[in-house]
Amino acid sequence: MARTVVIHEHGGPEVLRIEDRPVGEPGPGEVRIRHKACGLNFIDIYQRQGLYPMKLPTALGMEGAGVIEAVGAGVTHLRPGDRAAYAAQPPGAYCEARVMPAAQLCPLPEGISFEEGAAMMLKGLTVEYLFHRTVPLKRGDWVLFHAAAGGVGLIACQWARDEGINLIATAGSAAKCALAREHGATHTIDYRAEDFPARVREITGGRGVDVVMDSVGAATFEGSLDCLRPLGMMISFGNASGPVPPVNLATLAAKGSLQITRPTVFTHIARHEACQEMARHLFAKVQSGAVKIRIDQRLPLAEVAEAHRALAARETTGATVLIP
């Protein structure tokens, strides 16, 4: 049996329950992992709220790190006793142990802690595909990145600095803007105190940015379009402020033949080989020191409801991990 966070209905943090669930043995292509740490992400909140409807009841959590206890037939890249980390579907990472498909589990290098592994996989693989697999970016390009003081954002600031990309970071306070600058943002904008499209135009000499990376959603979408240069790319990859309303495609033409995409990390990591390649790239950034994983909140699994509340209220910086 393993303590597992489960929801039986959609709603607020109060619907999160901790239950004892059987774990069992891995079947073909599966492993059993015992978690040392579990990551917290906005997608967990979307699933809990019902923005992303799911068959109920369901466990929650999309990333974790721990030790492999058993492997099923056909699994060759992991063995019992190996350290491993993952971002993967289906959800179920908020638990002490689980059986799950092995394809998206990645060997965790020595020198990267379990907490770092749990905090970096979904967020770090997201940054990897944003910078390398969505639109070609080169040294000197300009990127606007919203919510840059969060877990994904602080990795993105460091990644951009390492790649020679000019990153304009938005955040919701002077302290959060300072945090983004500390992690490598070229410029910062406090979106609660400043008109961010006007500031972006000022910073870029009226040109606009090449790419906007926006996980905030409804509150920033229209302004983000106004930050792009002609033929620029809008990457909408989250809905922290609510889903983006329907888009009139003619608006994209009127604003400069803009491009738009709505990717997810799970499409990019669906193939085992691609997932492992992306993870190796991420691990190399961390091992080189170019990217440091900042964990500002550590809570026991029993306090998962408080962790959800704080993340939704944007009271957190960096990453949050839950300790089973």
Decide if 288 is inside a domain. Answer: yes
User: Are 165 and 56 found together in one domain?
Assistant: no
pLDDT of the residue at 178? 97
pLDDT of the residue at 53? 85
User: Mean of the pLDDT values across residues 265-284?
Assistant: 98
The residues pairing with 83 across neighbouring beta strands, listed in sequence order, are 67
Total number of domains in the chain: 2
Token reading at 164: 């020679």
Instruction: Summarize pLDDT for 106-152 with one digit per residue, the tens.
Output: 999 999 999 999 999 999 999 999 999 999 899 999 999 999 999 99
User: Mean of the pLDDT values across residues 286-298?
Assistant: 97
Decide if 182 is inside a domain. Answer: yes
Task: Please say which residue of 262, 278, 297 terminates a domain.
Answer: 262
Cα separation, 154 vs 136, whole angstroms: 21
User: Are 147 and 64 found together in one domain?
Assistant: no
pLDDT of the residue at 179? 96
Answer yes or no: are the C-beta atoms of 27 and 311 closer than 8 Å: no
Cα separation, 281 vs 63, whole angstroms: 18
Decide if 19 is inside a domain. Answer: yes
Could you tell me the CATH number of the domain that includes residue 224? Answer: 3.40.50.720
User: Are 45 and 139 found together in one domain?
Assistant: no
User: Are 258 and 296 found together in one domain?
Assistant: no
Instruction: Enumerate long-range contacts of 295-300, CB under 8 Å, 24 or more apart.
Output: 295/115, 295/116, 295/119, 295/319, 295/320, 295/321, 296/320, 297/40, 297/321, 298/115, 298/323, 299/323
* pTM greater than 0.85: yes
The residues pairing with 34 across neighbouring beta strands, listed in sequence order, are 67, 97
Residues 6+ apart with CB under 8 A from 191: 146, 170, 171, 172, 220
Cα separation, 270 vs 263, whole angstroms: 13
For residue 229, the Cα-to-chain-centroid distance in whole angstroms is 26
- Beta strands of the chain (E only): which ranges? 2-7, 17-21, 30-39, 58-59, 63-71, 83-87, 97-101, 105-107, 142-145, 166-171, 187-190, 209-214, 228-236, 259-261, 295-300, 319-323
User: Are 110 and 149 found together in one domain?
Assistant: no
**Counting Cβ atoms within 10 Å, is residue 310 exposed (0-12), middle (13-18) or buried (19+)?**
middle
Decide if 129 is inside a domain. Answer: no
pLDDT at 97 over 90: yes
Which secondary structure element, helix H or strand E, spans residue 223, and what is its range? helix 221-225
User: Are 31 and 107 found together in one domain?
Assistant: yes
DSSP 8-state symbol, 148: T
Could you tell me the CATH number of the domain that includes residue 78? Answer: 3.90.180.10
Decide if 127 is inside a domain. Answer: no
Decide if 95 is inside a domain. Answer: yes
User: Are 208 and 281 found together in one domain?
Assistant: no
The residues pairing with 205 across neighbouring beta strands, listed in sequence order, are none
pLDDT at 259 over 90: yes
Higher pLDDT, 53 or 161: 161
Query: Reduced to 3 states, what is the DSSP secondary structure of residue 92?
Result: coil
User: Mean of the pLDDT values across residues 267-287?
Assistant: 98
User: Packing angle between helix 151-163 and helix 174-182, nearest 10 degrees?
Assistant: 40
Task: Please say which residue of 232, 262, 292 terminates a domain.
Answer: 262
User: Are 243 and 274 found together in one domain?
Assistant: no
Burial code (b: 16+ CB inside 10 Å, e: under 16) for 38-66 equals bbbbbbbbbbbbeeeebeeeebbbbbbbb
Per cent of the chain over pLDDT 70 is 100
User: Are 173 and 82 found together in one domain?
Assistant: no
pLDDT at 314 over 90: no
User: Mean of the pLDDT values across residues 65-85?
Assistant: 98
Domain that residue 97 falls in: 2-122+266-323
User: Are 255 and 303 found together in one domain?
Assistant: no
Decide if 130 is inside a domain. Answer: no
Token reading at 180: 């983004």
User: Are 63 and 103 found together in one domain?
Assistant: yes
Task: Please say which residue of 219, 247, 262 terminates a domain.
Answer: 262
Decide if 56 is inside a domain. Answer: yes
User: Are 100 and 197 found together in one domain?
Assistant: no
